[in-house]
Structure 1
């Protein structure tokens, strides 16, 4: 599957995909200083749209942070994200995640629990990753687990990729797009669903960490985790 990695998002076919924006996390943090959530999310989505000119922008679950209420600021951020995508000439869509119980209160656009993208290499299906998918795919693109990896003392929000990892299909796990999500370290995690939350990750050691190095504007790829874990 041909995938472009950049800024905790990916481009697959004609779609830009980002997961786990957790809009409203700033309000939930309950700090006195502003955290710049809206500008940080909207500016990055805008920059990605400008760079790649996608036909579709998929928010792959956990667009919202709070389970039971949506603050006015969070609603305004969601509106700004939707407007940014449509102004860029793209179609926004949400594949709801486990945090998105209040999504209907703030999102009037299209939603699909599983969104299929046809590419020359096959079908990619985007979903949040908290449940086993119903649709068949050549590659599943998910979020949910917020993976990070620490290499030589530096922490990276990383992608995870493995071939034929779930019922013969490839699996690509995205890092949390929100800069307010600390993430979950994979350095000392072993095995599959007992160590991760997504049922699509059955053998974490088979997944290859990938990071986007913003300073170098380059992708850093590592061997499968099981091959170099002891070096971390």
Structure 2
């Protein structure tokens, strides 16, 4: 592992916090995925999402919560229970006295049929330097820093898979890129240890070797930073 990384975006759990903007960013919530699955889900994914969100809100006390895409998992129908879980998600944010903004992802074509809150394809945070979007398409807004989701990164260490954040300094047209892990309990994560650039789905991942993975450690309540993926291939 490498020393602590000093950057203006702080990984926490399966999310990112931007202190200068008092904003919590979560990605790939995928509400409705369990009901839309062809098999019975072993857990109540909506309940787990609420528990994770409540914990994150309690730790960060944000003014704003931004979903970096794929709040839903709904393409042409609304899965059973989705509206209930979405209402509970919104209630969690309201109870924390925070505002909610959603940047749609590729799994969100029906978002505006069930969500009447703030929706925008890209959202610039109050710090003026960070733009949040899902990451499945090239951003239209210029910024020195992007926070995205979409790829569900996870790092395999000693045979165990750990959701991780990926931090790529200056990798997209000179801008930094942070890739969030998935908040959904049903997204096990895509193991990034040996992935090359072409294997990532986001066009913002232009040089996979330069991205540094960070794994949240509950015991120390801190991030364990690993060498960039180019080095991880030789170590893990």
Q: TM-score, normalised by structure 1?
A: 0.94
SS at match of 2:118: coil
SS at match of 1:17: strand
In the alignment, which residue of structure 1 is the partner of 2:78?
A: 70
Q: How far apart in 1 are the matches of 2:133 and 2:151?
A: 13
8 Å Cα contact 2:193/2:233 also seen in 1: yes
State the shift of 1:215 in Å.
3.7
In the alignment, which residue of structure 2 is the partner of 1:152?
A: 158
State the shift of 1:9 in Å.
0.4
Stretches of structure 2 lacking an aligned partner (at least 5 in a row): 1-6
Q: How far apart in 1 are the matches of 2:33 and 2:220?
A: 29
In the alignment, which residue of structure 2 is the partner of 1:26?
A: 34
In the alignment, which residue of structure 2 is the partner of 1:170?
A: 176
In the alignment, which residue of structure 2 is the partner of 1:222?
A: 226
1:35-74 alignment, distance < 5 Å: 35-74=43-82
In the alignment, which residue of structure 1 is the partner of 2:3?
A: none
In the alignment, which residue of structure 2 is the partner of 1:130?
A: 136
Given candidates 2, 11, 25, the residue that maps to 1:5 is 11
Range with bigger deviation, 58-67 or 94-103: 58-67
Q: How far apart in 1 are the matches of 2:14 and 2:56?
A: 11
In the alignment, which residue of structure 2 is the partner of 1:109?
A: 117
Q: Deviations over 1:150-176 (max 9, x none)?
A: 012221111100110101100000011
Q: TM-score, normalised by structure 2?
A: 0.92
Q: Deviations over 1:120-147 (max 9, x none)?
A: xx60000000010011111100000011
Q: How far apart in 1 are the matches of 2:158 and 2:40?
A: 33
Find out whether 1:209 has 2:213 as its counterpart. yes
Report 1 or 2 for greater relative contact order, CA contacts < 8 Å, sequence distance ≥ 6: 2
Range with bigger deviation, 72-81 or 123-132: 72-81
Range with bigger deviation, 24-33 or 165-174: 24-33
Q: Deviations over 1:71-113 (max 9, x none)?
A: 2301111111111101210001100001100101111100111
* Distance change (3 Å), C-alpha of 1:189 and 1:33: closer
State the shift of 1:28 in Å.
2.3
Aligned length: 228
Q: How far apart in 2 are the matches of 1:72 and 1:154?
A: 32
